[in-house]
Structure 1
Amino acid sequence: MRICLTAIVIALIANKIKATPVESRENEPFGVTEREQSSLPPVTLHGRLVYGRFPLLHFVKDPSPAEITQQVITSLRKFVRELKGFISPDTFRFVSFQRMAEHFGSTLRELEGLLKLGKHSEEAQQRLAYSKNLYLTMTRAAINMRRFLPLENTGNIAISHMSLIQLKALALYDSRGEFHTTLAHSVRRIMCLKQDVNSWEAAFNNQRNVHFLTELIFTDLVEKTRAQIRALENKIPRDREFWSQEGLPRDGDFFCLA
């Protein structure tokens, strides 16, 4: 009996000594293995930090205007491509719609960060073209969503995000494709977009929840800037003539893009 036990012990010791490096590595503590797997190259880690973790983009060094413009264009292209694929009748599924609705939030933060970074870029005309393309695509998406499914909570989320992106992106530009330099100009553009907000309600048959969402978005943008608008009235003569006493443009005094 002792001989058998001794033989078993010797066999176990020999097997332990002959264990391969791969087997030994599998028996290492979990924490060590986790550290090895998370040691990404510096470039990859930097990319994950910039695009995957933060709502607004951060860079180690200030990007050039050309780099900023390229990032804006790339982001808008990706978003437009995803929307076009999303509204395709052949590929539409409710699960896909739900996934896209959840994705709108992170996309909104990315676009806001890109637009802030691109504020000082010299190639505003290119971004204007993509913002118009984005607006037209979102309008088509709204019409298609109305046809595909009844407006419920998930639809409200997607619509509110798309409306907010539309207002924030287009309100940054003037008719020449340049960024607005004063708050008054930006709010002037937002007032022009009120007719687009009304068109969203018409596309969804003036349903009560859509009216609430669009009015909430529009009111928030105007109310938060009304005090600053009045301050600008005292500094800019032509704005004193343009704005009414309520801090809103007079009817017929502004030109809206088609």
Structure 2
Amino acid sequence: MDWFDPIRGLFDVDWIRRSVHALVVGGGRVGWELIRMMVYHGVRRISLIEPDWNERRNYASGVGEAGMGLPKIRATKDELYRLSPRIAFRGAAERLSVEHPGIFLEWMRDATHIVLAIGDFPVAAHLGAIAYAERPCIYATVLENGRSGEAAWSWPRRTPCVGCTGQLSEKRGAEGGQTMLVDVAEVVHVAFKEFMGLSLAGRRGFERFAHYVDPHFCLAMIINAPDATGNVGRPDIPSLVRLVQVVDEQGDGPSCSVCRGYRP
């Protein structure tokens, strides 16, 4: 009996081990938690693009004190090998931008799943639009080093438009947006079915959120945002329901009715 035996009925772990190759951009709090959860669900091939070093203000909390002062790629690799020595890992210390997507363009070609866990929403939207092409993609944007932020989403069967996605972000920002306060320790990920082809509804910590999520889009959300009193808030379930309803009412979501998405 191995670690996966009790949960084999939820999804095909053997298929995940054979087939899934996840490309992750950003190895901070959010990126590390998503990597860790993918590994726990059977993913054995991880590529990480992350230029930063672990410091007190921005370290990947999951890697612990042993990773302090190390490049995030090195700290993530060490911790992954501690979780499973059979993981195939590669990393690139490269800073990406809208003008310079760099090694992302090469690595995305053999990735089956994309995770964008960086704090720069325009860059995340741009990379997602380039790489999306019918493959599952998670946007997990955290702003200001986790002190505030909002969830971003993608539609699995559509390619998002860079321009429209950016306009949506600006509009939400101008209106104050809708920030979900979540304790990172609870590892609240709402990214289902279309991502890795899994149903996480039966997994501990997920079941109370799963039935709120429309299966026709992905939503990833881990935001460590203290409220006005300085306390880290709990998930606002009514707000999450409203967000799902708003997305549902939008139909095609943030896609351009003229260009029908961005394909360079």
Structure with the largest fraction of strand = 2
Structure with the largest fraction of helix = 1
Task: Report which of the two structures shows the higher radius of gyration computed on alpha carbons.
Answer: 1
TM-score by length of 2: 0.28
TM-score by length of 1: 0.29
Structure ranking higher on relative contact order (CA contacts 8 Å, 6+ apart): 2
